[in-house]
């Protein structure tokens, strides 16, 4: 018996008769069922009071923290949501792409832990919010998104990335109006592998999902098509604007998959065996530890941007040394590299390779154009996202 399996007193009567050859009265079966449910989910009074006490202490010790909870008709807790003040503050310095995922809890309650994470300017996981729900369905996901929206808002650059779970899409559609929903490329690849078992599609698919231009997308899509014509059909049916960076209607930055959520879930693998409050408390303490370590590291850092952004620019500058540049006018440049040509506009911060446009970090072509004008690529990156927190 668990809280997700419908269990009526008549089921208890039948079970006892079949498995133990014992006749049980309806009244006894009803009382037995109640005791079993309470031991799995806690008594209504215990679980709700304990969560309320936990929430009060959490908010008292971390002002600005947001929590929400909901009980079922019998007063037992059903959903719980938590976003710590540190995560809420850090959101302003993160890319506006949120990865969400649900992971089964392994304690007696057997609910689901939902997590929402993003990446900071240093390309590190930034946990934003967590929820414990009875199971993954339209109701629990829409409740989660409603609370996520209360805390982190919604704007036209915002993206939520998830696997293809129907309830996530339904919940998203109910709550969000202008944010965009994107699919995880890794899960899509997993399905593709299931349908075309022995075909070596991984490399072409990954390039198809990650490339910046429609032209290159088509090149890799044709490679997939050569392996199996039905692969293009399957991927087009999903909608290229859902999973391919070149066609996505917003910026995905480095969040092409839900890997950050899965890393978070695997970090919390052992904690997911704890009772609900133990799990929530260990998440709080983990986030506190991460923030302490990151702040300590940043306090010793003397760079203008995050280490990640500066490393990317340094690498682009290195690559740009082998390129040739031809000015078109004061702002526009043509950059030749091997047999390829790119057009950079330093005023609009664009390059025809689309990397500067979509990642907001100058590409190698932009770096040579900026250097030609004696501009330092690092100082053109006036984006709070890539600065230090
Ligand atoms: Zn470029």
β-partners of residue 161 are 99, 182
d(CA 187, CA 205): 12
- Whether 361 and 349 share a structural domain: yes
Residues contacting residue 268 through CB under 8 Å, at least 6 positions apart: 103, 113, 115, 279, 282, 283, 286
Residue 197 has pLDDT above 90, yes or no: no
Q: What is the CATH number of the domain that holds 145?
A: 3.30.420
Selection from 9-23, 35-49, 103-117, 174-188 with the highest mean pLDDT: 174-188
Q: What is the pLDDT of residue 377?
A: 73
Mean pLDDT (whole number) for 230-246:
94
Task: Return the biggest CA–CA distance within the chain.
Answer: 92
Q: What is the pLDDT of residue 384?
A: 42
Residue 388 has pLDDT above 80, yes or no: no
Mean pLDDT (whole number) for 54-82:
90
- Whether 168 and 269 share a structural domain: yes
Classify residue 300 as exposed, middle or buried by CB count within 10 Å of its CB (0-12, 13-18, 19+): exposed
Task: Tell whether 24 is covered by a domain.
Answer: yes
Residue 31 has pLDDT above 60, yes or no: yes
Q: How far is the CA of 365 from the centre of ligand 1 (A)?
A: 4
Q: How far is the CA of 179 from the centre of ligand 1 (A)?
A: 27
Q: How far is the CA of 320 from the centre of ligand 1 (A)?
A: 10
Q: What's the Cα-to-Cα distance from 186 to each of 96, 209, 268, rounded to whole Å?
A: 20, 9, 21
Q: What is the pLDDT of residue 67?
A: 96
Task: Tell whether 56 is covered by a domain.
Answer: no
Task: Tell whether 280 is covered by a domain.
Answer: yes
Task: Tell whether 51 is covered by a domain.
Answer: no
Q: What is the pLDDT of residue 73?
A: 81
Mean pLDDT (whole number) for 141-146:
98
Task: Tell whether 357 is covered by a domain.
Answer: yes
d(CA 141, CA 268): 20
pLDDT tens-digit readout, 242-291: 999 999 999 999 899 999 999 998 999 888 888 888 889 999 999 999 98
- Whether 141 and 279 share a structural domain: yes
- Whether 74 and 205 share a structural domain: no
Q: How far is the CA of 330 from the centre of ligand 1 (A)?
A: 18
Q: What is the pLDDT of residue 386?
A: 45
Residues contacting residue 264 through CB under 8 Å, at least 6 positions apart: 101, 115, 117, 125, 127
Check if the beta carbon of residue 117 is closer than 8 Å to that of residue 99. yes
Q: What is the pLDDT of residue 272?
A: 85
Q: How far is the CA of 361 from the centre of ligand 1 (A)?
A: 10
Residues of the chain with pLDDT > 90: what percent?
A: 59
Q: How many residues does the chain have?
A: 389
- Whether 247 and 117 share a structural domain: no
Q: How far is the CA of 252 from the centre of ligand 1 (A)?
A: 17
- Whether 230 and 375 share a structural domain: no
The structural domain count of the chain equals 4
Task: Tell whether 15 is covered by a domain.
Answer: yes
d(CA 366, CA 317): 9
Q: How far is the CA of 4 from the centre of ligand 1 (A)?
A: 52
Residue 156 has pLDDT above 50, yes or no: yes
Check if the beta carbon of residue 351 is closer than 8 Å to that of residue 343. yes
Task: Tell whether 209 is covered by a domain.
Answer: yes
Q: How far is the CA of 42 from the centre of ligand 1 (A)?
A: 58
Residue 180 has pLDDT above 80, yes or no: yes
Q: What is the pLDDT of residue 16?
A: 84
Structural domain span for residue 22: 9-41
Check if the beta carbon of residue 68 is closer than 8 Å to that of residue 105. no
pLDDT category, 337, cuts 50, 70, 90? very high
- Whether 113 and 262 share a structural domain: yes
- Whether 81 and 158 share a structural domain: yes
Q: What is the pLDDT of residue 40?
A: 55
Residue 382 has pLDDT above 60, yes or no: no
Q: How far is the CA of 110 from the centre of ligand 1 (A)?
A: 49
User: 179-193, 219-233, 255-269, 288-302: which range is least confident on average?
Assistant: 288-302
pLDDT tens-digit readout, 77-92: 789 999 999 999 999 9
Q: How far is the CA of 157 from the centre of ligand 1 (A)?
A: 22
- Whether 116 and 98 share a structural domain: yes
Task: Tell whether 4 is covered by a domain.
Answer: no
Residue 1 has pLDDT above 80, yes or no: no
Mean pLDDT (whole number) for 131-148:
95
Higher-confidence residue of 300 and 119: namely 119
Q: How far is the CA of 363 from the centre of ligand 1 (A)?
A: 5
- Whether 204 and 177 share a structural domain: no
pTM equals: 0.82
- Whether 155 and 244 share a structural domain: no
Instruction: Please count the other Cβ atoms lying within 10 Å of the Cβ belonging to residue 72.
Output: 13
Q: What is the pLDDT of residue 306?
A: 78
Helix/strand/coil for 147: helix
The DSSP result for 253-301, as a single string, is TT-SSSHHHHHHHHHTTTGGGS-HHHHHHHHHHHHHHHHHHHHHHHHT-
d(CA 365, CA 379): 16
Selection from 28-37, 67-76, 340-349 with the highest mean pLDDT: 340-349
Q: How far is the CA of 240 from the centre of ligand 1 (A)?
A: 23
Domain boundary among 253, 271, 289: 253
Mean pLDDT (whole number) for 111-116:
93
Q: Are strands 112-119 and 125-133 parallel, antiparallel or unpaired?
A: antiparallel
Helix/strand/coil for 231: helix
> Which ranges in the chain belong to alpha helices (H)?
9-20, 26-41, 44-61, 85-90, 138-152, 166-175, 185-195, 202-210, 214-227, 229-238, 240-243, 259-267, 276-299, 307-320, 355-359, 364-372
Residue 196 has pLDDT above 50, yes or no: yes
Helix/strand/coil for 225: helix
- Whether 140 and 268 share a structural domain: yes
pLDDT category, 108, cuts 50, 70, 90? low
Q: How far is the CA of 342 from the centre of ligand 1 (A)?
A: 6
């Amino acid at each position: 018996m668990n809280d997700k399996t419908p269990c009526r007193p008549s089921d208890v009567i039948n079970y006892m008769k079949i498995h133990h050859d014992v006749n049980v009265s309806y009244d006894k079966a009803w009382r037995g069922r109640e005791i079993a449910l309470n031991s799995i989910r806690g008594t209504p009074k215990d679980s709700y009071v304990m969560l309320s006490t936990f929430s009060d202490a959490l908010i008292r010790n971390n002002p600005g923290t947001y929590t929400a909870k909901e009980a079922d008709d019998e007063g037992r807790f059903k959903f719980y949501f938590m976003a710590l003040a540190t995560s809420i503050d850090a959101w302003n310095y993160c890319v506006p792409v949120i990865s969400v995922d649900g992971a089964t809890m392994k304690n007696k309650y057997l609910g689901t832990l939902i997590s929402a994470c993003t990446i900071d300017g240093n390309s590190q996981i930034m946990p934003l919010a967590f929820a414990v729900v009875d199971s993954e369905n339209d109701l629990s996901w829409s409740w989660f998104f409603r609370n996520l929206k209360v805390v982190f808002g919604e704007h036209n650059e915002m993206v939520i990335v998830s696997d293809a779970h129907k309830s996530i899409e339904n919940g998203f559609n109910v709550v969000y109006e202008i944010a965009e929903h994107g699919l995880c490329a890794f899960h899509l690849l997993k399905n593709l592998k299931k349908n075309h078992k022995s075909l070596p599609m991984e490399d072409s698919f990954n390039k198809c999902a990650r490339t910046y231009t429609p032209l290159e997308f088509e090149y890799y899509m044709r490679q997939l098509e050569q392996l199996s014509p039905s692969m293009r059909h399957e991927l087009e049916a999903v909608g290229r604007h859902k999973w391919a960076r070149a066609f996505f209607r917003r910026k995905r930055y480095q969040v092409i998959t839900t890997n950050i959520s899965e890393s978070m879930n695997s970090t919390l693998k052992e904690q997911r065996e704890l009772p609900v409050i133990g799990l929530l408390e260990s998440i709080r303490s983990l986030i506190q530890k991460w923030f302490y370590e990151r702040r300590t590291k940043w306090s010793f850092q003397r760079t203008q941007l995050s280490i990640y952004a500066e490393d990317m620019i340094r690498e682009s500058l290195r690559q740009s040394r082998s390129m040739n540049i031809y000015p078109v006018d004061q702002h526009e440049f043509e950059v030749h590299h091997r047999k390829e040509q790119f057009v950079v506009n330093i005023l609009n911060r664009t390059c025809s390779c689309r990397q500067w446009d979509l990642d907001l970090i100058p590409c190698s072509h932009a770096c040579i154009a900026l250097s030609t004008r004696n501009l330092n690529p690092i100082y053109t990156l006036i984006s709070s996202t890539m600065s230090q927190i």
